[in-house]
């Protein structure tokens, strides 16, 4: 299902990396919820919404920034500074940009095949949700 990306992900536009990162993030959350025993669709959706939103993603990026390599930090910064032209209602611009930075980073790591690094970062979601 997943083929390895042959190019250099740093050469892709930031919003392209964010696009793939958004999908990877959502899939990670859904899989994590099912692993935890959430199987009723209503509960899955409710729990997913708590984890898939700009506010939580911005907080996660802030939390992991000290753990990033120089390259990862640059990728996240590129994503944060990208102009998408669209900020959802009820979302602060700064939060939305940080969440885009996180999605860009996740997309970059996914295309590099660094799945353990994605796990390392996204495993911290639950700690943030419980705060």
Every domain of the chain and the residues it spans: 10-128
pLDDT of 3 above 70: no
Q: What is the pLDDT of residue 13?
A: 95
The answer to whether 105 and 75 have CB atoms below 8 angstroms apart is yes
Q: What is the pLDDT of residue 23?
A: 97
* pTM, 2 dp: 0.92
Share of the chain above pLDDT 70, in %: 98
The answer to whether 64 and 125 have CB atoms below 8 angstroms apart is no
Q: How far apart are CA 83 and CA 121, in angstroms?
A: 24
| Of 15-19, 68-72, 114-118, 126-130, minimum mean pLDDT range | 126-130
Within 13 Å, how many C-alpha atoms sit on residue 95's CB side?
13
pLDDT of 34 above 80: yes
Out of 9, 22, 24, 33, the active site residue is 22
Topology of domain 10-128, CATH: Ribonuclease iii, N-terminal Endonuclease Domain; Chain A (1.10.1520)
pLDDT of 4 above 80: no
Within 13 Å, how many C-alpha atoms sit on residue 113's CB side?
7
Quickly state the pLDDT bin for 43 (edges 50, 70, 90). Answer: confident
Q: How far apart are CA 121 and CA 53, in angstroms?
A: 16
pLDDT of 35 above 80: yes
Catalytic: 22?
Answer: yes
């Amino acid at each position: 299902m997943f083929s390895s990306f042959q190019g250099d992900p740093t050469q892709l536009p930031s919003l392209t990396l964010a696009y793939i990162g958004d999908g990877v993030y959502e899939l990670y959350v859904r899989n994590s919820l099912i692993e935890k025993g959430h199987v009723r669709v209503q509960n899955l959706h409710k729990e997913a919404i708590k984890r898939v939103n700009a506010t939580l993603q911005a907080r996660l990026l802030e939390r992991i920034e000290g753990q990033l390599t120089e390259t990862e930090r640059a990728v996240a910064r590129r994503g944060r500074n990208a102009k998408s032209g669209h900020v959802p209602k009820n979302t602060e611009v700064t939060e939305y940009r940080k969440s885009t930075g996180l999605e860009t980073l996740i997309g970059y790591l996914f295309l590099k095949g660094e799945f353990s690094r994605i796990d390392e970062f996204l495993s911290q979601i639950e700690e943030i949700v419980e705060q």
